[in-house]
Amino acid sequence: YLSVNDLLGNTIVVPRLLVDLLRPPSERLISYYECVVQAFTTHMSSTAVHTALMIMAFDRYVAICYPLRYAAIMTNKMLIKLTVSAWGVAFVLVGILLGLTIRLNRCRTLIESSYCNNAALFKLSCENVSINNIYGLTFTVVLFTGSIGSIVLTYTKITVVCLTSKNKSLNSKALKTCSTHLVVYLIMLISGFVVIILHRFPQYSDYRKLCAIVFVIVPSILNPIIYGMQSKEIRTFLSKFFESKTILPS
């Protein structure tokens, strides 16, 4: 799920961004509807990351707190329902967000952002954007509250189970599976917060553009590395690979 989501977001943003970096500013042009598609995809991707990590937190909660019932709870049917719900919630929330922006008339043509997003689009309008700001703020609060709340709730219950259990195998499994998930979540959360906060300070627009690029690229690069290192086969391969590089030829 995360790999597909990262691929979707980066495919829309990164190639266009690299091309624009090679062009002079006067040639960095994009049509309005192409910009809308890019904005929808980036917001969809960033929203789906939250819903995906919420599902993963629930999966870890069931695996650690109810290991004997895991197979009965996390069936293929349940996984399909959770996946559809994650994409569906993200689609509806982002669809309303962009729908409120598309309805506005435009009087400007300059996108003051590294790539298209909702804020850059509604700033093209000279109309009253109070509704956009209210929904955007509500959207952010609901998403972050639900995301952070689910993580805190599930990890609190997991911690309680680990502290009350003297099973070293269970505690080791919990630490191994939860630490990677928590690292990925914190990277995504911190980078997202920085972008949102810098939107409120126009004087730091250059820093905001840089952080927006980092928010798209860095988490998607780190995700496969962090989760890949959890695999014993990958760790063994890398260990042998680097050991072979350090052996001097006789």
Tokens of 219: 């988490």
Q: Which domain holds residue 99?
A: 2-246
Question: Quick check: 36 and 167 in contact, CB under 8 A?
Answer: no
Q: How would you write the chain as a 3-class SS string? A: CHHHHHHHHHHHHHHHHHHHHHCCHHHCCCCHHHHHHHHHHHHHHHHHHHHHHHHHHHHHHHHHHCHHHHHHHCCHHHHHHHHHHHHHHHHHHHHHHHHHHHCCCCCCCCCCCCCCCHHHHHCCCCCCCHHHHHHHHHHHHHHHHHHHHHHHHHHHHHHHHHHHCCCHHHHHHHHHHHHHHHHHHHHHHHHHHHHHHHCCCHHHHHHHHHHHHHHHHHHHHHHHHHHHCCCHHHHHHHHHHHHHHHCCCC
- Predicted pLDDT of residue 248: 47
Tokens of 80: 């399909």
Tokens 């003297």 belong to 166
- Predicted pLDDT of residue 230: 60
Q: What is the mean pLDDT of each run of 10 residues along the chain (250 residues)?
A: 71 80 82 89 86 84 83 89 90 93 87 82 86 88 87 83 73 69 74 73 72 72 64 64 55
CATH of the domain at 159: 1.20.1070.10
- Predicted pLDDT of residue 54: 85
pTM, entire model:
0.76
Question: Quick check: 97 and 43 in contact, CB under 8 A?
Answer: yes
- Predicted pLDDT of residue 241: 62
Count of domains in the chain?
1
- Predicted pLDDT of residue 93: 92
